[in-house]
Amino acid sequence: MEKKINDGFNLITQSKLLVEAIKFLQKGFSWNDEKSNRILERLNSKEQKTPYGAIYKENGKIVIAVLLFYQGRSFLEGKDVINLSSWFALQSHRGIEAITFAKDLVEALDDKIITDYTPSAAACKIFKSLNFIQMEVDRHEIGVCNKFPFFSILPLFKKTYLRTSKILPLKDVQNLDYQNTEDTGFFSVNTHKKFRLSFNILNIYLANNNKVNLFKLLKLAIKYRVIKINFFSKNNATRNTNVWLIKNHKTENFILPFNSELSL
């Protein structure tokens, strides 16, 4: 018999409530059914060992929701790692209600390392006030960008090399844990829609400030027909802010996005 869900803050531990939350988020973010099904399948998998997410209900209806992806266990810190994803609140609940929800969420996950790989500007302000900090990560863009001259190519020379004697392997980031990643690169491809057009972005993740083979990179770019490539790599002297956030860690201040929302 499923537990009755009262109004207020609730962790999602029931599959039925997870489906309800995903429907709410799908409407809020304008997802297609395929993405919702992928999320449901991932969170319902045997690898998910923590709550599916959290919601805030008012008058029996969901008004705020977030998903929680179990990334694995940090043996360095002896804690589970959980990824915050797809936080959405109705316009009427983006003030004090959202802040209260974030506080309740962080308190409920206090025994776990928490990551956020896609924080909005508003989320960054809230989470940093709750002691999240910037991960030691650097980001470089190649291709179409938001700033003049709206196209960037310089990082192509900084992040790639032509040598073929030792090519850094590039593996798909899906369903991998974050152990033994020092000599391997990982990638994911995200599809975005704007003005009814779809375009792909290639993301390269590196445990260290390594470089990848130019020809291997171009092969992936052509295969997936991408308009932009993002490089994410560990860097103690990071020049970027609000890229990836983390909380409840001591020494592990860089966690690649394995088993997170970015690996869907």
Q: Which residues contact 29 (CB under 8 A, 6 or more apart)?
A: 86, 88
Apex 231 CA angle, 234 and 172, nearest 5: 95
Hey, what CATH class is 8-134 in?
alpha beta
- At 206, give phi and psi (nearest 5°): -125, 130
Neighbouring C-beta atoms of residue 256, cutoff 10 Å: 27
Residue type, 231: F
User: 């266990």: which residue's tokens?
Assistant: 73
Per the CB < 8 A criterion, the answer to whether 193 and 243 are in contact is no
Predicted pLDDT at 165: 43
Q: pTM for the whole thing?
A: 0.88
Per the CB < 8 A criterion, the answer to whether 86 and 119 are in contact is no
Measured CA to CA, the distance from residue 179 to residue 136 in angstroms comes to: 17
Per the CB < 8 A criterion, the answer to whether 83 and 68 are in contact is yes
Please report the DSSP string for 92-129 in residue order: GGSSHHHHHHHHHHHHHTTTSEEEESS--HHHHHHHHH
Residue type, 159: K
pLDDT 10s per residue in the chain (264 long)? 456 788 999 999 999 999 999 999 999 999 999 999 999 999 998 889 999 999 999 999 999 999 999 999 988 899 999 999 999 999 999 999 999 999 999 999 999 999 999 999 999 999 999 999 999 998 888 887 777 666 777 777 777 776 544 556 778 877 566 555 666 788 999 887 777 788 899 999 988 777 888 888 899 999 999 999 999 988 877 667 779 999 999 988 889 898 999 888
User: Two tokens at 65?
Assistant: 């929701």
Annotated domain spans of the chain: 8-134, 138-240
Q: Identify each DSSP E strand in the chain by its residue range.
A: 8-12, 53-58, 61-74, 79-89, 113-116, 133-134, 137-144, 151-152, 160-161, 170-172, 185-194, 197-206, 212-213, 226-234, 245-247
